[in-house]
Amino acid sequence: MKWLEIHIDTNHAGLDAVEAFLSVHDIDNVVIDDEGEFHDFLENNHQYWDYVDGDLLKQEAGKSRITFYLPDDEDGFARLAAVRLALSAFKKEHEGAYGSLLMTLANLEDADWENNWKQFYKPMKIGQRLLVVPEWEQVEESKRVKLILNPGLTFGTGSHATTQLCLTALEKQIHGGETVLDLGCGSGILSIAALKLGAATAFACDIDDKCLDVAYENAALNGVGKDTYTVACGDILSNEDLQKQIGSGYDIILANIVADVIIGLSPAVRALLSPGGLFICSGIIDTRAEEVAQKLREAGLTIRDTHSADGWFCYVCQ
């Protein structure tokens, strides 16, 4: 069997955190290379050399790495894509604390990764109304609402359970004419889906400035123009200009992010909703589901529906 060798670069402080992160995704057999252990080895083995290559010291400076292996097949690439998506959120949640958190594949060129990555993403039926179609796939006409997506390697494709939970909850709430706010939009899949399902307008934002190109490109693939769709970059909790641009009175607010960000957003959500509006939040790992639920209640929100799959939770709040 062929294997994919995947590395995540971190620092000494991040080793336990990254190992725990991978364990959540059922990856427990890892190899740890620690800068601290490297220097301990040098310190305790002076008798074997009197010179250490300076380039080697520079190469190892400040770097710790976790390596793991996945099968080089459809399942392996699917798991790798899920880890890449989750790692992006993990990186945002711990910005700067654990080094670069750069993920690389040994002996696999970027083009090879992209081609292999694409071949395992096929059209997906989600809920009762949606069909998510990668741009490179052709499908026959369908009674479902077709959502065309080309997220590249930066954002998710819709295959992750958290996105599917959010889309399934969303399609039940779109009846036509709604205004939608998508927080942490990434590829724009949620807000574009809302428009395709019948929402009147959508505003999407993300702290990653790559969202501007990716979300607008995906919108164009679906015939969605800037007259109904706005994408912006920034932190809604601290950027006053973004807050003014967003405004308030939304019928539906979407947040498919991570538990800590949802907790941080929850006190601000009610002021952004219209009377009777809904907050649909996902990306909540099961071990933190009750904690998030409690924080939502403390923020004055009522949880109307709870959805879960594969260890992830989605709440529909009012």
* One CATH from 2.40.128, 1.10.260, 2.30.110, 3.30.70 for 3-119: 3.30.70
Report the DSSP beta bridge partners of residue 232: 205
CATH 3.40.50.150 segments of the chain: 158-317
CATH 3.30.70 segments of the chain: 3-119
Mean pLDDT, the chain, integer: 85
H or E element that contains 132:
strand 130-134
Instruction: Give yes or no for residue 2 having a pLDDT over 50.
Output: yes
The pairing of strands 124-126 and 130-134 is antiparallel
> What is the separation of C-alpha 88 from the centre of its chain, rounded to a whole number of angstroms?
6
Per-residue model confidence (pLDDT) at position 281:
97
Instruction: Give yes or no for residue 294 having a pLDDT over 90.
Output: yes
Please indicate whether residue 174 or residue 64 has the higher confidence score (pLDDT).
174
pLDDT band at 115, cuts 50/70/90? low
Residues in the chain: 318
pLDDT band at 150, cuts 50/70/90? confident
Torsion angle, alpha carbons of 282, 283, 287, 293, to 10: -30
Q: What percentage of the chain carries pLDDT values higher than 90?
A: 50
Q: Which CATH fold topology does 158-317 show?
A: Rossmann fold (3.40.50)
Task: Please give the single-letter amino acid code of residue 290.
Answer: E
**Structure confidence by residue, pLDDT tens digits, 230-278:** 999 999 999 999 999 999 999 999 999 889 899 999 999 999 999 999 9
182-203 average pLDDT score: 95
89-111 average pLDDT score: 79
Per-residue model confidence (pLDDT) at position 45:
43
307-318 average pLDDT score: 94
